[in-house]
Structure formats: structure tokens, C-alpha cells
Amino acid sequence: MKVAVVGATGMVGEVMLKVLAERNFPLTELIPVASERSVGKTISYKGQDYKVVGLADAVAMKPDVALFSAGGDTSLEWAPKFAEAGTTVVDNSSAWRMDATKKLIVPEINANELTKDDKIIANPNCSTIQLVMALAPLHKKYTMKRVVVSTYQSVSGTGVKAVKQLENEIAGIEGEMAYPYPIGRNALPHCDVFLDNGYTKEEMKLAKEPQKILNDTSFSVSATAVRIPTAGGHSESVNVEFENDFELADVRKLLSETPGVVVQDNTDTNTYPMPIYAHDKDDVFVGRIRRDETQKNTLNMWIVADNLRKGAATNTIQIAEYLIANKLI
Ligand SMILES: NC(=O)c1ccc[n+]([C@@H]2O[C@H](COP(=O)([O-])OP(=O)(O)OC[C@H]3O[C@@H](n4cnc5c(N)ncnc54)[C@H](OP(=O)(O)O)[C@@H]3O)[C@@H](O)[C@H]2O)c1
């Protein structure tokens, strides 16, 4: 496989290279791609150096697959050019996620929708992926009516510039700001841009993407997305109302039997998911599983995952692996 990593110098791109190497992805040629600012820089992969190339050169090299994490505008302009050249694109930006002609895939849930004709495939938003990983098996068994989610999102979700802002604040250095306010010792109820309805774009991704992934509009999701000064992963407080009642023991059992989900839930030993434990892992961690005592058939839980791995790089690479395993590229 000739593989282009578009955005190879970014937060997600770097993790993408790490995960490709770890999983021994069947890669025969790597094409690291970034903006004109980075062309000519060297990227190391499995001990070998590769020169970063620009987008036009990468298209001309006709990769088999291009893993995109270079922002929505780059995807909108360039993913179709790769697709025209015969490359299958798996895109991490929000550019194609809600396009009715594109699939939005979490491999554990809906990879079976993929066909040879899918030349641009969308990877869901990081906070959506960890949410649906836990919701999908519960929805299948108990039928969700309504989900209320509040996120506690890592600065690594904004990219290199935001991680630098937090590091600068901790070191007492004045530098470039990724956010309109300091993020250290703060919580910003503001992830991505505000929309006309008063929600942020991140909140609307959480509202809409789960319906598309689960291919079901019969449930609704209401979200508040908050940026906090953590770096290891995103956390989510999730309240789910079901049509049908459940036993907490069955919920724990079902989640612990779900591939890619790990239950960490023991209040006697202070065991619950946290970003410092989720960091650098591919699993989605679920804990604080308890009944909402104010409403029937309703569950509360706490979900944590590394937004750069299962929330981005790992999910993208799992999609590419599925395509290869099923001879779809
Ligand atoms: N961070 C997350 O948790 C996360 C999760 C899911 C999805 N995503 C999505 O993944 C994408 C990248 O996020 P990130 O956090 O990795 O951002 P980042 O750290 O800012 O990196 C951006 C990458 O895109 C490249 N790039 C920017 N403009 C470009 C252009 N015009 N042409 C070619 N390459 C260009 C940059 O290259 P230079 O180094 O040359 O500037 C860099 O490699 C975004 O669409 C984001 O929404 C991020």
C-alpha cells in the first residue's frame, strides 16, 4: 500500500504515523504531506526518514489510500482530487461527515456499510466516536430516546497551537493564543465556532453524527462542549433515557463485552476513567455507571478516551484496515 498522510506534521498526523507503525500497517511507501510551510522537512517513520511533500505532488504520486487530518478546507479542496486519481481518502475533518453521499464510520459499529465505490470516507468527530462506542450496544438492547452529554475536552483536540498555549501559560511565557481566553486554570464553554442557534459547531456534531452512524433518527442528543486544561483525552458526562428499563449489572456486562470498550467502575476503590489513564490507549473507558434516580429508564455514565487515538488516528487507520481486509481498495 502506498499511503499518504495528509497533515503529517500536525497533532493527529503524528499520532497517525505512530499508530501505523504500531499496528504494522501493510505500508510499502509513505508519503507525508503538509502545507507549503513544511514541504522539504523530514519525518521519521520506523527509523527511516521521509521528506514532506505538498498536496499536488502527493496526488500525482497516486497513493492507494490518503489519511487526511489537515482541516476542513484542505479536505474540501483536495480529497476529491485524490479520489479522482483513484485514491481512497479517509478524512478526519468535519468537511464530509454530514454529506449524504459520504459514509461516516466507526468500524466497530458500521464498517459493513462500506463498498468499493466509497472513495471519500468520513471519520467522525473525536467526542462523537467515544460517545457512540458506549451508546451503540446500549441502544441496540434498550432503545435510546434522549441523550444529554456534557464534554470536558482536552486542548490536544484543538491542535498544536492550543497545546503550545497551555504549555506557555504553565511556563509563564507570553505567546500565541489558540483560544480567546487563557485555558490554564480555566474552563471554556466554547469548542469550535458558535452557530446561529447559540450552540457551538462541536455541540451540533455531537447532536447529529450519532444519528448518522447508528442510522437512526428516533433518538435525540443535546450537548454542551467544554474545553478544559487537560492533554490526555476527552471526558464526557452522559445521561441516557431509554424506552426500556435495564439492570445496572447487565449494562456493565454488556459494555465490558463490547470490543473497544473497557469498564472501569468501582467506587469502593475509587476506580473510574480519567484522561491520564486513557492517554495513549485505543480503548474507550466507561465508569460511574449509575441509575438517574430522577427519571425512569435513565442512566448516567462517564466516558473517557484519547481523542488523538480512538477519537482520530486509530479510528481512521481501523477504517483503512477494514477496506484492505475486505478487498475494498
Ligand atoms: N486533535 C484532535 O483531537 C482531532 C480529532 C479528530 C479530528 N481532528 C481533525 O484533524 C484535523 C487536524 O487536526 P490537528 O489537531 O492535527 O491540527 P494541527 O495540529 O493544527 O495540524 C494541522 C495539520 O494540517 C496541515 N495543514 C494545515 N493547512 C494545510 C494546507 N493548506 N495544506 C496542507 N496541509 C495543511 C498542517 O501542516 P503544517 O504543519 O505545514 O502547518 C498540519 O500537518 C482537523 O481537521 C481536526 O478537526 C482533530
pLDDT tens-digit readout, 57-88: 999 999 999 999 999 999 999 999 999 999 99
Residue-wise pLDDT tens digits, 146-170? 999 999 999 999 999 999 999 999 9
Residue-wise pLDDT tens digits, 233-263? 999 999 999 999 999 999 999 999 999 999 9
Beta partners for residue 225, in sequence order? 151
Which residue has its alpha carbon closest to ligand 1 atom 14? 159
22, 42, 103, 230, 320 from 52: Cα distances, Å = 21, 6, 29, 30, 21
Give yes or no: 126 in active site: yes
50 membership: H or E segment, kind and range: strand 48-51
> Which pLDDT band holds residue 31 (cuts at 50, 70, 90)?
very high
Q: Rounded distance, CA 203 to CA 224, Å?
A: 6
Average pLDDT, the chain: 98
Give yes or no: 191 in active site: no
Q: Which of 5, 12, 14, 31 to mutate to test the pocket of ligand 1 (most atoms within 8 A of CB)?
A: 12
Residue-wise pLDDT tens digits, 175-204? 999 999 999 999 999 999 999 999 999 999
Atom of ligand 1 nearest to the CA of 159: 15
Does ligand 1 come within 6 angstroms of the Cβ of 69?
A: yes
Q: Please name the residue that has the C-alpha cell 447559540.
A: 198
Does ligand 1 come within 6 angstroms of the Cβ of 128?
A: no
Task: Calculate ∠ Cα 154-145-99, nearest 5°.
Answer: 60
pLDDT of residue 3: 98
Mean pLDDT for the stretch of residues 299-312: 98
Atom of ligand 1 nearest to the CA of 160: 19
